[in-house]
Amino acid sequence: MKSDFYTAIAQIAAERGIPREAVISSVEHALKTVYKKMAGTDEEVQVELDSQAGNIRIYVTKRVVEEVEDEEQEITVQEARKTHPEAVVGDIVRFDRTPKNFGRIAAQTAKQVVLQRIRDYERDSVYAEYIDRVGEVLNGIVQRADPRAVIVELGKAEAVMPAREQVPTERYRLGQRIKVYLVEVNKDARGPQLIVSRTHANLIKRLFELEVPEIYSGAVEIMAIAREPGLRSKVAVAARQEKVDPVGSCVGVRGVRIQNIVNELYGEKIDVIEWSSDVPTFISNALSPAKPISVALNEEEKIARVIVPTEQMSLAIGKDGQNARLAYKLTGWRIDIKDPESLRGQDDDILRQARAALASAPDDMMSQGRQPRLVRADGTINVREREFGPLAPELINMSVDVEVINGILNVYYNRDLRARFVFETGQQLSLSEDEGLPISSSNEPGAGRT
C-alpha cells in the first residue's frame, strides 16, 4: 500500500475531529484482523505504519524455545537463527509476513473496520461530552418534527424530544432555533441517546439563572416552581442577601428580564412571588394576583382554608382552576378557597377570622390599598366601572395593582409605578412625582371612560 493510504488516514482524522493516533490504532487493529483471516492463523501479529514512506508492514512475532509446543507462538533456536543469527532461547523474534496481494482487499476491509471504529469513537466522545451536561439548557435547531418526536441538532449530536416532553401549545418547525433542557443521556447500541425537554420545570429555573445575575450569583434563590407548560408558571423566590428585592430582581426594570423568559417560552405566563417560611404567608403569596383575607391551616390533613373577597374569587381560582392548582403544586398544600358570602351561617374559626378581617377593611376602594386588575387585550383596565389606559403593550394580559390616593389612580406592575391617571377625568399623568402634569386630555386615547 502506498502513501495515499496513510494520507487518507490523516484526512479522516482531521475531518472527524479525532486524534490521529486513535485512527492509526484502529487501522492497526483492523489490519491484524484482515491478515489473520487471510492467513488462517492465530499468530501474534504486529502492524507497522511508516509515516514517511506511507507503507504498511505485517510482522509475526514468536518466542525462541528449545522445543516447540505451540507452533503459532513459538520457534526453535535453529529456525530462528536462519533469519536472526544471534537469537537465543527466550528472545522474541519477528518475521516480515506482508503478503504480496495484501493491497486492495486488505485496504477495503480495513476501511470498513476503521469507519466502524471511528463511529464507536465518535459515540463515546458524544456520550462523554453530554453526560456531564445533564440538567443544562442547550441551544438547538429543529431538524425534524412529527407528533411522536422532535429531532433537535445540538452541534455534534442530535437529541430527541419525545411527545411527553413537548409543550402542547408549541409548534416546532424545520430550522427553528430553540432552547431545550437536557434530561438524560442513555447509551444505546446505535450510539448515545440524548433526551431533551421543553416541559421540564427546571427549564424555567435555568432560564432564570441565565437571565437574572442575582440568581446566578446566589443573591436570590429559586425555592419552588409550579408549571403547566405553555400556559402558566409560578416561581417562588427568596433573597439570600440583605437589601435585595427577590421579585424585582427577577422581573427586571420595566419587566425586561421576565419578558425575555416569557418570549423564550412563546408567551407562557410567569408569576414571580416571594417565598416565605411562614406557610400562611407563602400560600397567600402563591394565590397572587388574588389577595386573601385570611389563611387557616389544617396541619393534620395539610389543607389550607383561604378566604378571599367575593370579587376576587375568579382571580384566586383562575381559569379552569389553574391559579389554585398551581398554588397547590407550589406550596404542597391543598387549598380550599371560599368567599365570605359562602360562609354565611357558619360559625367556625375560619368565619370569625374572615369577619374580623372584613370588619377592619374599609369599604371604599379609595382607602383599601393596592388591588389587582387584569390588563385587557386593548391595554385598558377597569376600576370601579371606569376604564383607564392604554397601558404599555408589555402589560397586556398581565396582572397589575391599582391604588387611588388623593384622587390619583396609580398603576403598579411588580411594585414599579407604570402609569398614573386622574381618577375622575381619566387624564393620564406624567410618572414624574414632581410634575404630575397631564400628558393626554379626557377626549384623547388613554382617557378614562365611565
Nearest to 198 by CA among 224, 156, 165, 151: 165
Output the pLDDT for position 14: 76
Question: Yes or no: is domain 133-199 CATH 2.40.50.140?
Answer: yes
Output the pLDDT for position 436: 39
Q: Write the single-letter amino acid at 296.
A: A
Residue 136 in this model has a pLDDT that exceeds 80:
yes
Residue 24 in this model has a pLDDT that exceeds 70:
yes
**pLDDT band with cut points at 50, 70 and 90 for residue 364:** very low
Mean pLDDT (the chain) is: 83
Output the pLDDT for position 446: 39
More confident residue, 267 or 16: 267
Output the pLDDT for position 288: 92
Output the pLDDT for position 349: 57
Q: Write the single-letter amino acid at 126.
A: V
pLDDT per position as a tens digit, 162-199:
999 999 999 999 999 999 999 999 988 778 899 999 99
Output the pLDDT for position 339: 84
250: Cβ contacts below 8 Å, ≥ 6 apart: 208, 212, 214, 215, 220, 235, 237, 257, 258, 272
Q: Which three cell numbers stand for residue 113?
A: 473496520
Residue 359 in this model has a pLDDT that exceeds 50:
no
Q: Which residues pair with 290 in a beta bridge?
A: none
Q: Which three cell numbers stand for residue 75?
A: 520457534
pLDDT per position as a tens digit, 64-104:
998 888 888 899 988 888 888 888 999 999 888 888 777 66
Residue 433 in this model has a pLDDT that exceeds 70:
no
Output the pLDDT for position 353: 57
How many Å separate Cα 59 from the centre of its chain? 54
Question: Yes or no: is domain 208-268 CATH 2.40.50.1070?
Answer: no
Output the pLDDT for position 51: 63
Output the pLDDT for position 351: 52
Output the pLDDT for position 111: 72
Q: CATH topology of 208-268 equal to that of 276-361?
A: yes
Domain boundaries, the chain: 3-128, 133-199, 208-268, 276-361, 365-429
Question: Yes or no: is domain 276-361 CATH 3.30.2320.50?
Answer: no
**pLDDT band with cut points at 50, 70 and 90 for residue 358:** very low
Mean pLDDT lowest for which of 48-52, 73-77, 289-293, 403-407? 48-52
Residue 362 in this model has a pLDDT that exceeds 60:
no
Nearest to 358 by CA among 292, 441, 281, 299: 292
Output the pLDDT for position 106: 62
**pLDDT band with cut points at 50, 70 and 90 for residue 161:** very high
In CATH, the number for domain 3-128 is 3.30.1480.10
